[in-house]
């Protein structure tokens, strides 16, 4: 048991560090990258993110786990972690390409045609084209397979009608990947087709939705007779659920794989500096208990990540265990931010420009919902990790159009 | 990065698990709990013969010379089996104390016996209700004689030696006392978990000998407790995992409302949460084992994390075990109470989870620590 790099890992880290040091400013041990959080929809943020991505791509440091033929370097999961650690120690712009590079690209690699791979993957890797995920609908979120956006074939084209919602980034994305209902007479999971869709197609209307924190990173997207070439079908017609599963698995792996800083260090500082009953809050027994609990949970998560990495480096494939990351991490960041507000006393309700705890408190509920809610993740852990019986279902063995819903 | 145990270490663990499932079913724990024997002498002797008791003791002192990673995995198995033996007192505490602070002569005198199991050791810190601190120690050590009362002392009724903290001219010091000597009186105390015994030790001018430098008792005790905390965390995680597995198996077979109770979402989510809690405790414990085995400066912080999370996980597992079994879970006949009792006993030995959380913040409270 050790945390040391193997000689090969050390060599890789040195190469990564070397390139980063000559291309970006290195952060001090106490600094985190600035310019994160909201603002992913701001043009200047996107521009700087794209510039950094192109620079990495030219040097072979973009999407390093992707195969060389698409511009990656065929790096291992461990190398990817090392790269992310080192990049995280540099002052770099936020990455606005996560949905494409982390989830949709891997889906195209697994299920797409050769023509799709050679057309889309490299510009995605370079950040030249940004992608969004058109999965959720008003009546199909956790129950994604309940989706109703219709796709009807007309010769060499498909015609799409319906509405998607909560689509992050739709307002600035060039491409989207959409799951649609192509056969309502088939059973729920059997009549779904997965497409690549040009977000500049006529008939697409995008309306930003304002979130509780005032940001507008997600949107409603309406499809009115939008025509999509048959060549854009990902995988087989009516077999789109298979591809959707690939996307969702990659989503959990990329969201759950995180870890890293969740603000504990800053919370300690706040507790040291805040006056509480005439002494630093850090001296208060209740505060100490809460802080210790946050620390222990976040470290437990970090070390669980190390165990997963160790398994990966021994050749295991990422499994449903990755769900633990978000299931623990998301509520933890909400509790932590909420507690930080509490520590500030009545002033904790002030919302000023530098109120970062208040901002993260307002942002945190979204993380507990996006990419699989807490409850869905518990179902996944219960059923797929622990092997407990599946939910009783009322939507199996009948045609999709006959399934009971609020509409019938 | 290699955050896992080696194949050889896992093989040792498997051998221990196989041995214990054959020779230490839960019935053995129950036998000690219900009978007059204070611990299973047979299992204790076997543990000595198989090298478990001396896993971290170097060969030159009669140990197996494996190391602390191996010992941690053995502790996990001892926990899984709810083994009714004074393993934690003798191995994590007394043995570690001698390894940390003993002179060569003291090690030669005691370690071979501790390794074989002929000698049982313990650590006597508490004197009364409440959280012990340096200021609360009343036992004194003067002219090589110990005066005072320690209680409860785990396995104090069967131990041959105790490491004791006492007040002397230089402050607090650790001493080692032989318990069969004159001037020592022992009395068994009723335990919440009668499969593990507790005693009151009263020293009335008993001969004792310094362990480590005089006046360094508090620091030494803290560092021994840190080491024991990591090993105890493995024992707790092992026991929590067994409680979890038995509960899950029961829930798959128990039907209500026409379906296995394991299919009710309210219960599935509780099992999922429990599983996650145990896994986080396991990961924190792994980190503790790494810090312990590599003599890392991180140990004081890592030990707190391992100990607090493992105590919480085992306590919750043992509570959920009874609740999810329903009425049978509350019967003497079912094994749930063995876990429930053991969780409380282990959770309080070495200090409860809140004390360790408090210690954690104390240790993190300088800018470079986090
Ligand atoms: C910030 C943000 C960004 C997003 N980005 C995207 C995006 O880019 N693309 C995209 O397609 N979608 C996106 N989403 C949508 C997201 O995937 C869904 O909101 C999520 O899957 C939940 O679906 P829902 O909103 O329909 O809620 P519902 O599924 O209706 O859930 C309502 C409540 O019921 C619970 N629930 C539902 N089913 C079960 C069950 N079987 N057992 C127990 N409890 C259950 C849920 O946990 C929740 O508490 C985003 C959401 C957010 C908040």
* Options A86, A87, A137, A251, the catalytic residue: A251
Q: Which two tokens stand for residue A337?
A: 């931010």
Architecture of domain B121-214: Beta Barrel (2.40)
Q: Which of A34-38, A181-185, B28-32, B100-104 has the lowest mean pLDDT?
A: A34-38
Q: Which helix (H) or strand (E) holds A124?
A: helix A114-126
The verdict on residue A303 lying in a domain is yes
Query: pLDDT digits over A61-105, tens only?
Result: 999 999 999 999 999 888 888 899 899 899 999 889 999 999 999
| Contact (CB, 8 A) for B289 and B72 | yes
Quick one: A323 and A408 in the same domain? no
Is a pLDDT exceeding 90 seen at residue A313? no
Q: Which helix (H) or strand (E) holds A150?
A: strand A150-154
Closest Cβ opposite residue B361 in set A5, A292, A307: A292
**Cβ–Cβ gap B358/A2 under 8 Å:** no
* Lookup result for tokens 């299973």: B40
Quick one: A125 and A50 in the same domain? no
* Residue of minimum CA distance from atom 9 in ligand 1: A167
Domain boundary among the residues A44, A63, A95 is at A95
Quick one: A128 and A41 in the same domain? no
CA distances to A211, A212, A239, A400, B227 from A137, in Å: 17, 19, 19, 16, 54
The verdict on residue A2 lying in a domain is no
- State the fold for domain B7-116: Butyryl-Coa Dehydrogenase, subunit A; domain 1 (1.10.540)
The verdict on residue A385 lying in a domain is no
Query: Residue A36: its pLDDT value, please?
Result: 46
Query: pLDDT digits over B14-28, tens only?
Result: 999 999 999 999 999
**Cβ–Cβ gap A311/B4 under 8 Å:** yes
Q: Ligand 1 mean position to A378 CA, how many Å?
A: 14
Confidence of residue B47 (pLDDT cuts 50, 70, 90): very high
Confidence of residue B126 (pLDDT cuts 50, 70, 90): very high
- How far apart, in Å, do the first and last CA atoms of chain B sit? 21
d(CA A146, CA A407): 12
CA distances to B175, B185, B205 from B180, in Å: 15, 9, 13
The neighbouring-strand residues paired with B162 are B122, B177
* Residue of minimum CA distance from atom 20 in ligand 1: A141
Closest Cβ opposite residue A386 in set B6, B272, B281: B272
The verdict on residue A329 lying in a domain is yes
What is the count of structural domains for chain A? 3
Report the helix count and the strand count for chain B, using DSSP H and E.
12, 9
Short-list B337, B331, B305, CA closest to B318 = B337
Quick one: A226 and A357 in the same domain? no
Quick one: A246 and A268 in the same domain? no
Q: Ligand 1 mean position to A226 CA, how many Å?
A: 25
Q: Which residues of A touch B354 (CB under 8 A)?
A: 289
Quick one: A102 and A245 in the same domain? yes
Query: Residue A85: its pLDDT value, please?
Result: 87
* B226-240 exposure pattern, b = at least 16 Cβ within 10 A, e = fewer: bbbbbbbbbbbbbbb
- State the fold for domain B218-369: Butyryl-CoA Dehydrogenase, subunit A; domain 3 (1.20.140)
Q: What Rg value do the Cα atoms of chain A yield, rounded? A: 23
The verdict on residue A379 lying in a domain is no
What percent of chain A has pLDDT above 70? 94
Name every residue whose Cβ is closer than 8 Å to that of residue A258 and which is 6 or more positions away in sequence: A325, A329
Q: Tell how strand B145-154 and strand B161-168 pair up.
A: unpaired
Domain boundary among the residues A68, A95, A122 is at A95
Quick one: A327 and A399 in the same domain? no
In this structure, what are the phi and psi dihedrals at residue A33, rounded to the nearest 5 degrees? -60, 140
Kindly give the residue spans of alpha helices, DSSP state H, lying in A274-349: 285-313, 323-343
Query: Residue A259: its pLDDT value, please?
Result: 45
d(CA B330, CA A189): 45
Q: What is the CATH number of the domain that holds A23?
A: 1.10.540.10
Query: pLDDT digits over B317-329, tens only?
Result: 999 999 999 999 9
The verdict on residue A381 lying in a domain is no
Q: Ligand 1 mean position to A135 CA, how many Å?
A: 10
Q: Calculate the average pLDDT of chain B.
A: 97
Residue A114 appears among annotated catalytic residues: no
d(CA B108, CA B102): 9
Domain that holds residue A356: 256-372
ipTM beyond cut 0.85 = yes
Short-list B209, B205, B212, CA closest to B145 = B205
Test mutation, A10, A259, A260, A389, chain B, max B CBs within 10 A: A389
Domain boundary among the residues A62, A95, A128 is at A95
Quick one: A45 and A87 in the same domain? yes
Closest Cβ opposite residue B269 in set A264, A265, A378: A378
**DSSP 8-state secondary structure symbol assigned to residue A187:** B
Q: What is the CATH number of the domain that holds A338?
A: 1.20.140.10
Interface check A394 vs B, CB under 8 A = no
Q: Ligand 1 mean position to B279 CA, how many Å?
A: 26
Quick one: A203 and A219 in the same domain? yes
Q: Which two tokens stand for residue A99?
A: 């949905």
* Residue of minimum CA distance from atom 51 in ligand 1: A370
Domain boundaries, chain B: 7-116, 121-214, 218-369
């Amino acid at each position: 048991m050790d945390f040391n790099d193997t000689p090969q890992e050390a060599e890789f880290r040195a190469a990564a560090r070397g390139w980063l040091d000559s291309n970006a400013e290195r952060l001090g041990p106490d600094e985190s990258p600035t310019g994160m959080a909201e603002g992913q929809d701001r043009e200047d943020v996107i521009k700087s993110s794209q510039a950094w991505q192109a620079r990495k791509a030219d040097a072979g440091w973009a999407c390093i786990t992707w195969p060389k033929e698409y511009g990656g370097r065929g790096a291992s999961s461990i190398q990817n972690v090392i790269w992310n650690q080192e990049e995280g120690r540099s002052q770099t712009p936020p990455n606005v390409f996560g949905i494409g590079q982390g989830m949709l690209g891997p889906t195209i690699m697994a299920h797409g045609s050769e023509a799709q791979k050679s057309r889309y993957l490299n510009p995605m890797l370079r950040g030249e084209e940004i992608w969004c995920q058109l999965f959720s609908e008003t009546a199909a979120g956790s129950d994604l397979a309940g989706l109703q956006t219709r796709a009807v074939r007309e010769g060499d084209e498909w015609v799409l009608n319906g509405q998607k919602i909560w689509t992050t980034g739709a307002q600035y994305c060039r491409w989207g990947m959409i799951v649609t209902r192509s056969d309502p007479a088939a059973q729920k999971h059997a009549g779904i087709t997965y497409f690549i869709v040009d977000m500049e197609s006529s008939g697409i209307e995008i309306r930003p939705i304002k979130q509780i924190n005032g940001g507008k990173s997600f949107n409603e997207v309406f499809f009115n007779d939008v025509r999509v070439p048959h060549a854009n079908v990902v995988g087989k017609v009516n077999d789109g659920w298979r591809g959707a599963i690939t996307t969702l698995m990659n989503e959990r792996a990329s969201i759950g794989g995180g870890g890293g800083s969740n603000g504990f260090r800053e919370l300690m500082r706040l507790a040291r500096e805040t006056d509480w009953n005439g002494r630093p809050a850090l001296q208060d027994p209740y505060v100490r208990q809460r802080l210790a609990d946050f620390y222990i949970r976040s470290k437990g998560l970090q070390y669980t990540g190390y165990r997963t990495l160790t398994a990966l480096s021994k050749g295991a494939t990422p499994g449903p265990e990755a769900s633990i990351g978000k299931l623990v991490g998301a509520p933890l960041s909400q509790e932590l931010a909420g507690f930080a507000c509490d520590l500030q006393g009545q002033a904790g309700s002030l919302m000023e420009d530098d109120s970062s705890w208040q901002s993260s408190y307002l942002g945190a509920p979204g993380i507990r919902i996006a990419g699989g809610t807490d409850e869905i993740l518990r179902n996944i852990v219960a059923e797929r990790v622990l092997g407990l019986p599946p939910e009783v279902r009322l939507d199996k063995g009948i045609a999709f159009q006959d399934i009971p819903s609020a509409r019938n | 990065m290699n955050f896992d145990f080696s194949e050889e270490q896992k093989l040792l663990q498997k051998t221990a698990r196989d041995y214990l499932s054959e020779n230490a079913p839960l019935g053995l724990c129950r036998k000690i709990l219900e009978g007059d024997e204070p611990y299973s002498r047979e299992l204790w002797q076997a543990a000595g013969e198989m090298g478990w008791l001396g896993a971290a003791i170097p060969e030159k002192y009669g140990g197996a010379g494996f190391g602390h990673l191996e010992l941690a995995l053995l502790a996990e198995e001892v926990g899984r089996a709810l083994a009714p033996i004074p393993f934690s007192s003798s191995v994590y505490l007394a043995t570690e104390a001698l390894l940390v602070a003993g002179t060569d002569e003291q090690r030669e005198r005691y370690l071979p016996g501790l390794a074989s199991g002929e000698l049982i050791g313990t650590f006597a810190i508490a004197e009364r209700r409440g959280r012990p601190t340096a200021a609360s120690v009343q036992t004194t050590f003067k002219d090589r004689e110990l005066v005072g009362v320690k209680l409860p002392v785990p396995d104090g009724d069967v131990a041959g030696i105790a490491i004791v903290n006492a007040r002397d001219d230089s402050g607090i010091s650790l001493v080692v006392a032989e318990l069969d000597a004159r001037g020592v009186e022992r009395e068994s105390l009723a335990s919440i978990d009668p499969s593990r015994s507790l005693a009151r030790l009263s020293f009335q001018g008993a001969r004792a000998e310094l362990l480590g430098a005089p006046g360094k008792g508090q620091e030494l005790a803290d560092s021994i407790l840190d080491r024991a905390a990591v090993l105890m965390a493995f024992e707790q995680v092992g026991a929590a995992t067994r409680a979890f597995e038995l509960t899950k198996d029961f829930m798959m077979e128990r039907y209500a409302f026409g379906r296995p109770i394991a299919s009710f979402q309210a219960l599935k989510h509780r099992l999922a949460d429990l599983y996650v809690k145990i896994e986080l405790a396991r990961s924190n414990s792994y980190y503790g084992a790494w810090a312990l085995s590599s003599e890392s400066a991180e140990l004081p912080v890592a030990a707190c994390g391992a100990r607090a999370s493992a105590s919480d996980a085992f306590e919750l597992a043992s509570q959920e075990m009874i609740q999810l079994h329903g009425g049978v879970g509350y019967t003497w006949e079912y094994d749930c109470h063995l876990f429930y009792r053991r969780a409380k006993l282990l959770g309080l030995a070495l200090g409860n989870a809140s004390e360790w959380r408090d210690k954690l913040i104390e240790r993190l409270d300088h800018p470079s620590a986090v």
